[in-house]
Amino acid sequence: MIWILLLVLAHFFYGMVFILDKYVLSGPRTNPITYAFYVGVMGAGILILIPFGFVMPDSAEVFWSLVAGVFQILAFIFFYKALDSDKGEVSRIVPYVGALTSIFILIFSSLVIKEYLTNNQIIAFILLVLGSLIIGFKRGGKLEKKIWWMAVFAGLFFALFWVTTKYLFLGTNFISGLVWVRVGVAIIALTLLLSKKNRTIIFSETKKSKPQTTKLFMLSRILNAAGSLFIYGAAYLGSISIVNALQGLQYLFVLILAILLFKKIPSIKEQFSKEFLIQKVVAIVLICAGLGFLVI
Tell me the mean pLDDT in the region 124-151. Answer: 75
pLDDT tens-digit map of 241-294: 888 777 777 777 777 776 776 555 555 554 556 676 777 778 878 887 887 777
Distance CA 36, CA 173 (A): 27
pLDDT for the residue numbered 218? 75
pLDDT for the residue numbered 138? 61
pLDDT tens-digit map of 82-98: 876 645 455 567 777 88
pLDDT for the residue numbered 86? 46
Domain count within the chain? 1
pLDDT tens-digit map of 61-86: 888 888 988 998 899 888 878 876 64
Tell me the mean pLDDT in the region 182-204. Answer: 87
Tell me the mean pLDDT in the region 209-238. Answer: 78
Query: Nearest CA to 155 among 269, 46, 76, 59?
Result: 76
Question: Residue 208 is part of which domain span?
Answer: 2-295
* CB-neighbour burial class of residue 160 (10 A; exposed 0-12, middle 13-18, buried 19+): buried
Least confident of 86-95, 108-117, 121-130, 210-219: 86-95
Radius of gyration of the chain (CA): 18
CB atoms within 10 A of CB 112: 13
